Chain A
Amino acid sequence: MSSTTFDLIEGGRSAPLEPLTGTEIAARSPLELFWRRFRKDRIALVSLGFIVFLVVVAIAAPLVVKLLGAAGPDVQNPGALTQFGTPTGPSFAHHHIFGVDPLGRDVFSRVVYGARVSLEVAFIATGLSMMIGIGVGMVAGLYRGWVDTLLSRMIDLTLCFPVLLLGLGLGAACSQGNGCAGGTIKPGTDVVILVIVLATWTYIARIVRGQVLSLREKEFVQAARSLGASEARIIFREVLPNLTASIIVVATLFIPINILTEAALSFLGVGVQPPNPSWGGMLADATNIFNSAWWYMVFPGAALLLTVLAFNLVGDGLQDALQPRAAHT
């Protein structure tokens, strides 16, 4: 805070007033304050850079693969296999910088395309579970009473489901033919997204409900009510802006969890269906031949590890920058 704030107490009333067209005193918005704090966190900044890089690579996957001269993710290159039919390791000679898999497909381009699947599933699933969680949490927190009781018990019930078993069951049920729910949920990423949303919306709903319960008791909500503000105005203008910080933090921390869930489901065979590339699926394939083809496991594994790590570090950085518990109320 600048020192000018102090002379207001005494001098504010008698201070000569310039015409209001004069220079405005620069104000630091919450966004600026956040950025000033976040900027100082080197690790989070590097991680954010990696995520941006990953997103760009995922979006421009065909371009990246072409620029590096690699084959497409589904192109089988028998020439890259040994005479015994086992895959060869990383080499620049065949433009297979990460080596090939047992079918002669380029591991590098499969890792790049796998990033697409991972990020797509993680972002969509996190977005959907956020929407459901925020909606349910706000309704429960704002209306309390029997609405809250009903929704909270529903959350408790959903939390009792074993996620992996649910995923396996749903995956098995939906992987036949047209999928389940009348064909709306197709085998593959749809099932993964459904399982993730079912498993995670509850956590978000609980966090939001708790925040709303504490916010609605704040005096600024009562002040808005005493001014005659409508319920909608109170929700969208008073309560929701105060939730953004925690929503952003929770979202960034759920994205890596969801990436891992996708990988796990694909590893178990109920996620992304072959021949589509996915990190989890590649890891599953690689387990049998790890002795002879280490690259098939190491590169997708490293991609998964780095991505999850980067999201977690950014999430921690955001938490520190957005919710400094000490200073401001």
Chain B
Amino acid sequence: MSSSPGASTGERAAAPAGERPPVGALVEVVDLVKHFPITRGVILQRRIGAVRAVDGVSFEVRRGETLGIVGETGCGKSTTAKLIMRLLDPTSGQVRFDGRDITRLKGAPLKAMRRDMQMIFQDPYSSLNPRKTVGSIIGDPFAIHGLERGRAQRKRAVQALMETVGLNPEHYNRYPHEFSGGQRQRIGVARALALRPKLLIADEPVSALDVSIQAQVLNLLRDLQARFGLTLVFIAHDLSVVRHMCDRVAVMYLGKIVEIGPSDALYRFPRHPYTGALLSAVPVADPARARERRALVSGDVPSPANPPPACRFHTRCPKVRERCRTDEPALAPKGSGTEAACHFPLTEQEVARMHVVTGPVRPA
């Protein structure tokens, strides 16, 4: 474990671990919008509407921090990640990386930019090509960018990466089907690390894994972040996982951010009723508290093709009033450390009554 992975990889100087990274935002997302058109008709396709997957999202990711993005299925978390990664083209808005607008990059500049940001995918079974050996999968980034030329050199670099993520380098010639889910996810992590990116986006990296394996992969990510000074965007729907990992958390609902702030503040005193409901839904491993009433919201998430006007949460909000149906609240500081988009934020008494888990959930 003494050699740093891809020590030979570093054709560029990565910030040595432990050194304070430069301050400021690495990623700035400005008013990002992604609408997927809904069409009808076979030959002549008419556009009859749009799914508003991401509908005006702004936030920043600071250098070296871990930003969590949470929300229910279909709230636009993954779409946001793919927009930042340029796997999708935004309908409007801007993504700035390292101060540079990358929203319209194409060709060679886009390819060069891709070295700086990588992604870990959700499903370790579908994210590895079953027809390739592990060595070839992890070596792909080198092959695509023309790095680590030569068989022996590339093999050495790949095996160093395998060692870094806790895989046996001797398994270089094996195929993905010979590995367990957790090991496959490690292969995905090694592939993402190969180019020594500045930003790593993890799209629900552990939700497909067995609970006993989840912590191992999470700890690996934390280790690697500290070691390589990575900035991490961590997408999840499991709030305890997010708390374990993240410095700041953004909560999304129907394509918008409803609350964002430091995780301590957000978990201690959630201000948006949706955040409060999410937190009170976290299962508690304590039979004595099992029967406590929780502030679960009722009903289903409205269709993102036809979201409610004004505040999007008003159809399910326990605190809804007339103003919520006519006047869209903007994200604004609410005096407890987080910014929330709510006209009538939760009070301390309400949070106490919701039995939000505010104690430590960080695994020992």
Chain A positions within 8 Å of B, measured between CB atoms, are 1, 5-6, 8-9, 12-15, 17-18, 20, 22, 24-25, 27-30, 149, 153, 218-220, 222-229, 233, 238, 241-242, 244, 327-329
Contacts and interface: CB of A to CB of B under 8 A. Distances in A.
A242 B131 contact: yes
Given A13-B1, A219-B123, A25 B163 contact: no
Contacts of A9: 180, 182-183, 213, 216
Contacts of B175: 27-30
Contacts of B1: 13-14
Contact of B129 (A8, A22, A227, A241): A241
B127 interface: yes
A75 to B, nearest CB: 52
| Interface range for B | 35 or more
A260 to B, nearest CB: 33
Interface stretch (B91-99, B165-173, B228-236, B249-257): B165-173
B111 A228 contact: yes
B200 to A, nearest CB: 11
Given A28-B178, A223-B191, A241-B132, 6 more contacts: A5-B178, A17-B169, A20-B170, A28-B175, A227-B145, A229-B144
A222 B216 CA distance: 25
Contact of A219 (B127, B132, B170): B127
B177 A223 contact: no
B87 interface: yes
17 contacts: A9-B213, A12-B168, A13-B163, A17-B163, A25-B173, A28-B175, A30-B131, A219-B126, A219-B127, A220-B126, A220-B129, A223-B119, A224-B144, A228-B115, A228-B144, A238-B129, A241-B132
Interface of B: 1, 42-43, 82, 85-87, 110-111, 114-115, 118-119, 121-123, 125-133, 140-141, 144-145, 155-156, 159, 163, 166-175, 177-180, 182-183, 188, 191, 195, 213, 216
Nearest to B191: A223
Nearest to B127: A219
Contact of B173 (A8, A24, A328): A24
A72 to B, nearest CB: 48
B42 A329 contact: no
A224 B169 contact: no
B126 A20 contact: no
A31 to B, nearest CB: 10
Contacts of A20: 155-156, 159, 169-170
Contacts of B166: 8, 12-13
Given A149-B43, A328-B130, A329-B177, A228 B110 contact: yes
Contact of B180 (A5, A14, A227, A229): A5
B321 to A, nearest CB: 43
B168 A226 contact: no
Nearest to A242: B131
Contacts of A327: 177
Contacts of B178: 1, 5, 27-28
Contact of B188 (A153, A223, A229): A223
Nearest to B131: A241
